[in-house]
Amino acid sequence: MNLQEILFSQGFGTRRVCAGLVQQGWVSIGGAVCTDTLAEYETQGLSFAVQGVTWPFQERAYLMLHKPAGYECSQKPGMYPSIYTLLPAPLRMRGGGAAAGVQAVGRLDQDTTGLLLLSDDGKFIHRMSSPRHHVPKLYEVTTKHSLDADQVAKLLKGVVLDDSPVPVKAAAAVAVDSHVLHLTLTEGKYHQVKRMLAAVGNRVEALHRASMGGLKLGADLPSGQWRWLTPEEIMALYTPAAAT
């Protein structure tokens, strides 16, 4: 693939903008400045730098973001800033067209923190977000009132929410403290955790998504930061994690 197409595919602007970056000497590979827009490169394992910032070539983007509170998972947010403002411009422009850039895999409420996946792979987004595939998501829930065995039992048995007559069950529910619940769900209804806790007579004070599938949000990724997923982590998303 020639250098102009490489930059275009990775979200560095229109083909004309990408050509300009190369011609002005702002692109380097292996420490050497590249000024030929039509120079061909093998993309497998390719790493390049644009204005001093190193980027790996990625045919598809798979990212994890440690979402902070106070951000909306929307391209057109209302009262709060968008989570997309936490990403560099190339990730928001990948692919071009009307649906350019990476997209969030599902949504977290503005006051919810934790693991959020983003990708430009439509099949991956559908696979991870569709309730048909039952990808488990572990939430750490801080409750207003003390938890009791009856509340946990009801969450496991199933509670009826106002938008569906079919009871919604937790895949796992473990009270790890008097006000801390580890709740595992395999679907994602609107405000589901908050509504489920309300249905059993409690209230969510804080909500944090700790894992999806077998992928955990580690302490090495600070709030508000993002990074690429490794191939092993992508595979872990298809492996259910043990309930904790």
- Reported as a single tens digit per residue, the pLDDT across 186-239 is 988 889 999 999 999 999 999 999 999 999 999 999 999 999 999 999 988 887
Tell me which residue range forms the domain holding 12. 3-56
Residues 77 and 7 in one domain: no
Would you say the pTM of this structure is higher than 0.85?
Answer: yes
**Three-point CA angle 196, 109, 126, nearest 5°:** 90
* pLDDT tens string 13-61: 999 999 999 999 999 999 999 999 999 999 999 999 999 999 999 999 9
- Catalytic residue, from 109, 120, 148, 163: name it: 109
Does one domain contain both 10 and 91? no
* pLDDT at residue 243, as a whole number: 46
Number of domains in the chain: 2
On whether both 44 and 101 belong to a single domain, the answer is: no
Q: Is residue 162 annotated as a catalytic residue, yes or no?
A: no
What tens digit of pLDDT does each residue of 166-180 get? 899 999 999 999 999
Listed residue (202, 196, 209, 243) closest to 64, CA to CA: 209
Looking up residue 100, the CATH number of its domain turns out to be 3.30.2350.10
* Pair (48, 74) in one structural domain: no
Residue 185 has pLDDT above 80, yes or no: yes
Q: For residues 116 and 34, state if they share a domain.
A: no
Say yes or no: 65 and 174 in one domain: yes
> Is 242's pLDDT higher than 60?
no
